[in-house]
Amino acid sequence: MDEKQRQELFGELKSLLAEFGDVLVIGGEGTKYSLSTTKPIEVDGKLHEGYYFAGLRELKNIVGFYFMPIYICPELRERVPTSLQKILKGNTCFNFKKLTPELANDLKEMMNVGIETYRNKGWI
């Protein structure tokens, strides 16, 4: 993937995540983009002023999408759509090389599940 393709993919994914900016705080600049909560929360005995939800990072040959809800609640991994399971690397990183309509729909679905999970925990 050349730089132009990678930047276009980053832009497409960023636009998709920006749809959730009314619920979460947008951060990052340049080749990074993130969404976080604003409520003070306690996780594993530590108090946080807001908590990371999801983010993008433009890397050499991919755009990495990081999704914290599946780290915090490992049972959510079972709800990750098959199309996204194929590009899941490690605990929370999805390596995007392209964005198909199926991947976009599944990513939106997964984002909604994550928001629902954070709401149920009282974090949003």
**Residue 10, Cβ density class (10 Å: 0-12 exposed, 13-18 middle, ≥19 buried):** buried
Radius of gyration of the chain (CA): 14
- Report pLDDT digits (tens) over 10-31: 999 999 999 999 999 999 999 9
- Domain 3-116, CATH class in plain words: alpha beta
- Predicted confidence (pLDDT) per residue in 34-58, tens digit: 999 988 888 888 888 888 999 999 9
Q: In which band, very low, low, confident or very high, does the pLDDT at 70 lie, cut at 50, 70 and 90?
A: very high
Distance CA 93, CA 70 (A): 10
pLDDT digits (tens, 9 = 90+) for 72-116: 899 999 999 999 999 999 899 999 999 999 999 999 999 999 999
The model's pTM is 0.91
Cα 18 to Cα 34: distance, rounded to the nearest angstrom: 9
> Residue 118 — very low, low, confident or very high, per pLDDT cuts 50/70/90?
very high
120, pLDDT greater than 90: yes
Across 100-116, b (16+ Cβ under 10 Å) vs e yields eeebeebbeebbebbbe
